[in-house]
């Protein structure tokens, strides 16, 4: 009788929570207090906005078309990419004053900014044009302090979507292997001690550190669809957090590390969702 009752209770336990955070929104960034920044799209209107911990949404005036916001560690600034003409440039916005600063503008496109843990440097991707008309995605780091320099990472090797670990010791990114395939990897800033975290024939991209640095979230393409997975930094198998229909990309961890925000595109529309990370996915670390 007790066994039957237990099975009945298990049958009605709801599946792990997946909730809609914002319709027609994407490219989330999560602040330490849980505030979430994102990009909203309504027809031809694209705006940068953020939702505070009380649920109020604040729009941010930007020049150009904003994309991929990132909070500074202090939460006082947001870096984002903005498409102005044919090139994408990086901007750092101080929320309190409204002051903006363009970062490392070139004739190439800069995108995907991520603050280093101390907030004094910005890692980003540059679409570097070659003399033969070709181009490569490469990682750079800009020192935001007065007189700071812009330097290439990984000794100039191709890579994208780079970010430093919470302790500032490891650089996370995706890199091309075997033609158009990509894997998630970590290394030192100069490219030494490189280690692949994924080994799959599908394209793996959009990696994101957990707040404690023990896990990596990423997206894996499945034809026209894509899933959100988590893999331990120390090594181990990847675990699916959000699968099923739809193209799901750009995962970002909640401030407490218990959930992931991500984009889901389906039927010509992209929404920002949030899914709980199953306990089994974060108990696989060696």
Collapsing DSSP to helix, strand or coil, 178 comes out as coil
pLDDT score for 284 = 58
From start to end of 61-214, where are the E strands? 65-71, 77-84, 87-94, 100-103, 109-115, 121-129, 135-143, 150-152, 160-164, 171-177, 181-187, 195-196, 204-209
- Domains of the chain are 17-282 (2.120.10.30)
In this prediction, residue 285 carries a pLDDT of 56
Q: For the chain, give the mean pLDDT.
A: 91
What pLDDT score was predicted for residue 105? Answer: 83
> What's the confidence (pLDDT) of residue 5?
37
Compute the half-sphere exposure of residue 97: CA atoms within 13 Å on the CB side of its CA: 7
- pLDDT for 254-278, tens place per residue? 999 999 999 999 999 999 999 999 9
Instruction: Tell me, yes or no, if the pTM score tops 0.85.
Output: yes
Contact residues for 41 (Cβ-Cβ < 8 A; gap 6+): 24, 25, 26, 270
Residue 9 has pLDDT above 50, yes or no: no
The string of DSSP codes covering 5-44 is HHHHHHHHSPPPPEEEEETTEEEEEE-TTS-EEEEEEETT
Region 15-33: what's the mean pLDDT?
90
Q: Inform me whether the pLDDT recorded for 3 exceeds 60.
A: no
Using alpha carbons, select from 187, 209, 40 the residue that is nearest to residue 115: 209
Residues of the chain with pLDDT > 70, as a percent, come to: 92
**C-alpha–C-alpha distance, residues 260 and 251, integer Å:** 6
Q: Is the pLDDT of residue 172 over 90?
A: yes
Percent of the chain predicted with pLDDT > 90: 83
Which pLDDT score is estimated for 10? 33
Nearby residues of 29 by Cβ (< 8 Å), 6 or more positions away: 36, 37, 38, 69, 70, 71, 78, 252
Each residue of 193-235: pLDDT tens digit?
A: 999 999 999 999 999 999 999 999 999 999 999 999 999 999 9
Whether 57 has a pLDDT exceeding 60, the answer reads: yes
The confidence score (pLDDT) of residue 85 equals 84
The whole-number pLDDT of residue 13 equals 34
Query: 212 is written with which tokens?
Result: 């404690």
């Amino acid at each position: 009788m007790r066994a039957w009752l237990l099975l009945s209770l298990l049958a009605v336990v709801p599946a792990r929570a997946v909730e809609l955070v914002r319709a027609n929104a994407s490219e989330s960034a999560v602040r330490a207090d849980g505030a979430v920044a994102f990009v909203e799209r309504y027809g031809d209107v694209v705006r940068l906005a953020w939702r505070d911990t009380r649920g109020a949404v604040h729009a941010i005036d930007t020049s150009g078309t904003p994309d991929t916001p990132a909070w500074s560690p202090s939460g006082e600034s947001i870096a984002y990419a903005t498409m102005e003409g044919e090139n994408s440039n990086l901007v750092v916005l101080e929320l309190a004053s409204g002051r903006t600063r363009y970062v490392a503008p070139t004739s190439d496109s800069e995108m995907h900014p991520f603050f280093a843990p101390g907030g004094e440097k910005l890692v980003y991707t540059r679409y570097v044009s070659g003399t033969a008309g070709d181009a490569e995605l490469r990682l750079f780091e800009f020192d935001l302090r007065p007189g700071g320099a812009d330097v290439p990472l990984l000794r100039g090797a191709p890579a994208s979507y780079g970010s430093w670990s919470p302790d500032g010791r490891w650089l996370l990114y995706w890199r091309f292997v075997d033609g158009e395939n990509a894997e998630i990897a970590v290394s030192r800033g100069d490219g030494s001690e490189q280690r692949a975290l994924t080994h799959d024939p599908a394209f793996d991209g959009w990696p994101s550190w957990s707040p404690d640095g023990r896990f990596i979230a990423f997206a894996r393409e499945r034809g026209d669809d894509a899933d959100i997975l988590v893999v331990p930094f120390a090594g181990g198998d990847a675990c699916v957090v959000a699968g099923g229909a739809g193209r799901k990309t750009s995962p970002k961890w909640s401030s407490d590390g218990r959930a992931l925000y991500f984009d889901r595109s389906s039927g010509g529309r992209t929404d920002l969702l949030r899914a709980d990370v199953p306990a089994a996915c974060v108990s696989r670390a060696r």
